[in-house]
Structure 1
Amino acid sequence: MTLRILLLDDHQMLVEALAARLGAEPDLVVDSRGPTGVETAVAHAVRARPDVVVLEVSPLDDERRELILALRRRLPGAHVVALSADEDPRTAGEVALLGAEGWVSKEADVGELVAMIRGAAHGRGWFPPAQLAAALDRLRADARGARRDGPLDRLTDREREILAAMVDGKSTATLAEHLRLSAHTVRSHIGNLYAKLGVHSRLEAVALARSAGLTGTVDVRSDPVGAR
């Protein structure tokens, strides 16, 4: 399976170096953009239709916040991975709330970024232990606030079924096979349930669902470890 990757970073030399390194992987097709405004970057992303967007988030200023939100609105099927030189757990918590599904330090080995990209593309987000607690705290707090409005009541039976499977850790590909739907249709359902729940990522949707008491009860085959 070929994955389309979009790199968004203000540091042009880093972008070029990462693009060259990632492009050497047989399953990754890499597009890259240097310094751009929110509208330009989002318009390019909509045209490129990436599976994963790797976005520099340090410093996490208003423009980057808006960029993450805009990407999640316009490309609900894409996965956002935060690339950061900032190790502050509070920043990790905020980007998770905005919709980022993974976090990679700029000091990390490129192999770690490659593994993160492949995992994120299949719905397996990851935050380092030092940042994970803060990320989950922010998501749980947001989910508790949303639960007061009964967010799961807005979902159709199919959307609840898909959300339950997401809680169980099932990938989009596994869901599509089990439900006898195309991957595109499953992604559309996921985008619709994100909009109804007011969330921007799988991680946030799962946190809200668990906070609301939804458990993973769908009989969907577990993905094998390392499945692509």
Structure 2
Amino acid sequence: MTAAVMAGPVRVVLVDDHEIVIEGLKAMLGPFNSRVRVVGSAVGVENALSVVAGLKPDIVLCDVRMQRASGLDLCRSIRERDPDRKVILLSVYDDEQYLFQALRVGASGYLLKGITSDELVRQLEYVRDGSTAIDSSLAARAVDTAARLQSDEFWPGARQGLTQRESEILSLIVNGLSNRGIANKLVIGDETVKSHLRSIYRKLGVSDRTSAAATALREGIYR
């Protein structure tokens, strides 16, 4: 009898801001009820902390990006309240910088939404038993990125967890461009600019573009 079987099914709470995604995950995991059991769910982050505190699951499986808050922030809050609670972030973003951000806030895994049900169950069991789950398509790139960061062979802002596009937008903020100016310069939509700005603010620990520009100059990200 294996350790996973002896321990019983992995108890999971699902968090996403779309109920249809939660129902889809339940359907994926349903045939594996002897190995994984969904014990609860929360639509959005507002009630997630109370659901997790009440159910005390082995693992919280949540989306990285949600409409009103970030799965990264939720992960940090869960870990601050209960350092032993494990969180796996599920994302459509095939970007190693998001992986690094996830690990920094204490996540036990970062998996892409294209994962198969068999593999998701295996990764949930691995994390419950003490391993870290990293999507295989990201693992090799993450090692290369870490090595380049260590030798300073990367874009400005990479050490702060900014993606290349976020770094590009931050440089335009420093140069005084408005949201519309940034959108026109990069040929992207206004809402896309706003989404990137929210991510930049979160990663730099600021709340507005003036503070972001000041932080960029103070930290030597841009001169």
TM-score tier by shorter-chain length is 0.5 to 0.7
The residue correspondences of 1:78-117 to structure 2 (distance < 5 A) are 78-117=85-124
Separation (CA, whole Å) in 1 of partners of 2:36 and 2:25: 12
Task: Check 1:115–1:89 CA distance in 2 against 1; reply closer, same or farther (3 A cut).
Answer: same
Structure 1 equivalent of residue 159 of structure 2: none
Alignment of 1:66 onto 2:78: no
With over 3 angstroms needed to count, the CA separation of the structure-2 counterparts of 1:77 and 1:60, relative to structure 1, is farther
Instruction: Quote the residue 1:127 is aligned against.
Output: 134
Q: Quick one: percent identity of the two aligned structures?
A: 24
Shift of 1:71: 0.9
**Residue-by-residue CA offset, 1:168-193 (whole Å, 9 max, x unaligned):** xxxxxxxxxxxxxxxxxxxxxxxxxx
CA distance in 1, matches of 2:81, 2:27: 27
Q: 1:50 aligns with which of 53, 57, 60?
A: 57
* Partner residue in 1 for 2:208: none
Name the TM-score, length of structure 2 as normaliser: 0.55
RMSD between aligned alpha carbons?
A: 2.6
Letter in 1 for 2:104: L
Q: Does the aligned pair in 2 maintain the 1:101–1:126 contact within 8 Å?
A: yes
Which letter maps to 1:100? Answer: A
Amino acid in the other structure paired with 2:21: L
Q: How many residues align?
A: 139
Q: Equivalent residue of 1:44, what SS?
A: helix
1:18 and 2:28 aligned = no
Q: Secondary structure at the match of 2:17?
A: coil
Structure 1 spans left out of the alignment, 5+ residues: 142-228
Q: Deviations over 1:153-174 (max 9, x none)?
A: xxxxxxxxxxxxxxxxxxxxxx
Amino acid at match of 1:99: G
Of structures 1 and 2, the one scoring higher in RCO (CA 8 A, sep 6+) is: 1
- Give 3-state SS (helix, strand or coil) of 2:43's partner: coil
Please identify the structure whose Cα radius of gyration is greater: 2
Q: TM-score, normalised by structure 1?
A: 0.54
Contact 1:19/1:32 (CA < 8 Å) preserved in 2?
Answer: no
Q: Which residue of 2 aligns with 1:29?
A: 37
Distance change in 2, residues 1:102/1:59 (3 Å): same
My pick for the range that moved more, 96-105 or 26-35, is 26-35
CA distance in structure 1 between the aligned counterparts of 2:66 and 2:45, rounded to whole angstroms: 15
Aligned AA for 2:124?
I
Matches within 5 A, 1:103-182: 103-132=110-139, 134=142, 137=146
For 2:42 and 2:64, locate their aligned partners in 1 and report how far apart those are by CA, in whole Å.
13
AA in 2 matched with 1:86: Y
- Structure 2 unmatched runs, 5+: 1-7, 151-223
